[in-house]
Amino acid sequence: MKILVSVKRVVDYNVKVRVKSDGSGVDIANVKMSMNPFDEIAIEEAVRLKEMGVVTEVLAVSCGVTQCQETLRTAMAIGADRAILVETTEELQPLAVAKLLKALVDREQPDLVILGKQAIDDDNNQTGQMLAALTDLPQATFASKVDVVDGKARVTREIDGGLETIALSLPAVITTDLRLNEPRYVTLPNIMKAKKKPLETIKPEALGVDVTPRLKILKVSEPPKRGAGIKVPDVTALVAKLKNEAKVI
């Protein structure tokens, strides 16, 4: 069985981004970039399924600029067998990525596709669901547990108020939530080995996909700032402030 995992290169989650003064976007020049944390979880899950003998091949895919190769090398150091970069300098929105992934799903015929539930830059939470729709496959979003048995994926999902379990016929699309697993650290020998693994580069046009953005970003601004607060010396003062000044209790 083959798994396709999609990974995105994003601003590292520890970086506090700054909005550009001209309102055109956030400043990501010279900022540390990493693999989207949810995608690390996706790769880890695929590699664990391989280690359990359920899966024979893990294919990592990324869409974006040339530097996404680094993200794919990281995926291969975690344990992906090979990688495909769909290379473009165009701004890619979820619908475009879903279409690119659909073209690759059609070509590669994986039994399972795993994505992160959302990317921490655009915070969209759309691509996995869109891919499932375009390929007409069943979906299990926000997965915290995945079992593949008897040609079905049994997935526990995090929902508002608790957990639910659903069963999907394969092939299927799964998106990962935080608690699915703890991604492993990549080791130096594995980083070296990952350099020798195959990485294919392909253009959106070769896949016959139009990636023109459908949403126009008119402006990016700073969120409203909160006024500076005060420190109170003790509990009595805190209660007095909440009762008399803020009037919230």
Is residue 56 within 8 A of residue 3, CB to CB? The reply is: no
Angle at 164 between CA 160 and CA 165, to 5 degrees: 155
Cα distance between residue 221 and residue 242, in whole Å: 32
Binding of another protein by 31 (CB under 8 A): no
Determine the Cα–Cα distance for residues 35 and 70; give it in Å rounded to an integer: 9
Using CB under 8 A as the binding rule, whether residue 45 contacts another protein is answered as no
CB of 191 to another protein, least distance (A): 27
Q: Among 48, 54, 70, 144, which residue interacts with another protein (rule: CB under 8 A)?
A: 144
Size of the site for another protein (CB under 8 A): 80
Output the smallest distance, CB 33 to another protein, in A.
13
Could you say whether residue 206 binds another protein (CB under 8 A)? no
Per CB under 8 A, the list member of 29, 149, 188, 218 interacting with another protein is 218
What residues from 88 to 107 belong to the interface with another protein (CB under 8 A)?
A: 93-95, 98
Residue 130 touches another protein, criterion: CB under 8 A: yes
Do 61 and 92 touch, CB atoms closer than 8 A? no
Whole-number Å distance between alpha carbons of 140 and 134: 15
Distance, first Cα to last Cα, the chain = 58
The least distance separating another protein from the CB of residue 77, rounded to whole angstroms, comes to: 24
